[in-house]
Amino acid sequence: MLQLSIFLENAKGRLAQALSVLADLNVNIRALSLADTKDFGVLRLVVDDPERVAVLLKERSFVVKVTKVWFLQVEDRPGGLADVLDKLVERGVIVEYMYGFVEKAGELAQIVLRVRDQALMEDAVGELALGIPQG
């Protein structure tokens, strides 16, 4: 799966401004996380058709990067995420960052994972038969 990372200066109203640009472009945000430092932040987004949205944002002078991330389904209960992460760590997967969201009502929660080594992750996902949401 692909995620958009947008560089934002840590300035008053900048996040709201970026979000309203997305609204104008009629982009529906399915998941989002914001990492911030004193000077700047990185807004990470899961949207439909990320590559098209990236082009539109670049045209509007945003610094955007399209990054490969993993979507996993975990059980929506205490320890659901910990179980999955334990198994990934055992297999040597290094998580660079992650964020979670619950899409609609259901038994399962979803997480977005960015890992360092894609091949390791692919193996782990296969071996563990981890749930990867469709679409």
Point out which residues bind other proteins (CB under 8 A): 5-9, 35, 37, 39-40, 42, 44, 58, 61-65, 67, 96-97, 114
| Least distance from other proteins to the Cβ atom of residue 107, Å | 31
The pair of three-digit structure tokens given for residue 47, joined into one six-digit string: 């949207």
Q: Where are the beta strands (DSSP E) in the chain?
A: 2-9, 29-36, 40-47, 63-68, 70-75, 95-101, 108-115
Of 47 and 73, CB closest to other proteins:
47
Residue 90 CB, shortest distance to other proteins, in Å, is: 24
66/85 with CB nearer other proteins: 66
Cα(132)–Cα(17) distance, integer angstroms: 33
Closer residue to other proteins, CB minimum distance, 66 or 81: 66
Q: What share of the chain is helix, strand, coil (3-state, %, to 5)?
A: 30, 40, 30
